[in-house]
Amino acid sequence: MELVVVMVLTAIVISMGLTVLKIVQRHFLQFDKQSSFVTDIYMTDQALRGDFKKATSIVLYPDSSVVKLISNTISPTIYKFNSNNIVRSSSRNDTFKVRIVLKSFSRADTTQKVTGFLVKSLSFDVFVPDGHSFLINFSKSYDSETLFKLRDSSLLTNYGPRN
């Protein structure tokens, strides 16, 4: 009789412990998912802001969702915006698992001779997994000397999007 009571009490304690463990695990998985998303947003923002700051010119190809950041380095940095991620091609390739959509842009040039055009600001909608979105802005200031050099050079026409 005493053995049965001890076994019932042990079963109750073990089941309570497993229930608490399941609740803690569920909260940890939810935190991990949210933390992963925030980290991806932070890394994307950090990479875009750094590349915008280093770039001498930024060219947007709206038909293919490609942004090319041209700097004094050998190869330009290219961002390709897909439906569920962003692919960054530079000296190394990165994929950011962020759903981001180009919302608006402002042009820095008025020439129509190129497939892409020079932009001074880009605005993106970043979509959160719960369905909400928020706006993120990036801007680039050009001095007049740079704009004249870019306008007179073939720099913009030579850097079409890569497939």
| Res 111 pLDDT > 60 | no
Asked if the model's pLDDT at residue 101 lies above 90, the reply is no
Distance from C-alpha of 138 to C-alpha of 89, rounded to nearest angstrom: 19
Please, are residues 96 and 47 in contact by the beta-carbon 8 Å criterion? yes
3-class DSSP state for residue 102? strand
Phi and psi at 117, nearest 5°, equal -140, 155
User: Nearest-CA neighbor of 139 among 53, 73, 43, 42?
Assistant: 53
Q: How far apart are CA 59 and CA 67, in angstroms?
A: 6
Alpha helix positions (H), 55-153? 144-152
* CA 118 – CA 139 distance, rounded (Å): 12
> pLDDT tens for residues 35-48?
888 888 888 888 88
Please report which confidence band the pLDDT of residue 25 belongs to, taking 50, 70 and 90 as the band edges: very high
Is the entire prediction scored with pTM above 0.75? no
Write out pLDDT tens, residues 115-156. 667 777 888 888 877 778 888 888 887 777 777 776 665 554
What residues does 95 pair with on adjacent strands? 87
**pLDDT given at position 152:** 62
Domain boundaries, the chain: 32-158
Assess whether pLDDT exceeds 60 at residue 114.
Answer: no
pLDDT (0 to 100) of residue 153: 59
The per-residue pLDDT for 160 is: 43
Find the mean pLDDT for residues 19-32: 94
* pLDDT on residue 117: 72
- Name the pLDDT band for 162 (thresholds 50, 70, 90): very low
Task: Give the pLDDT confidence of 40-96 residue by residue, as tens digits.
Answer: 888 888 888 888 888 888 888 766 678 887 777 677 888 888 878 888 888 788 888
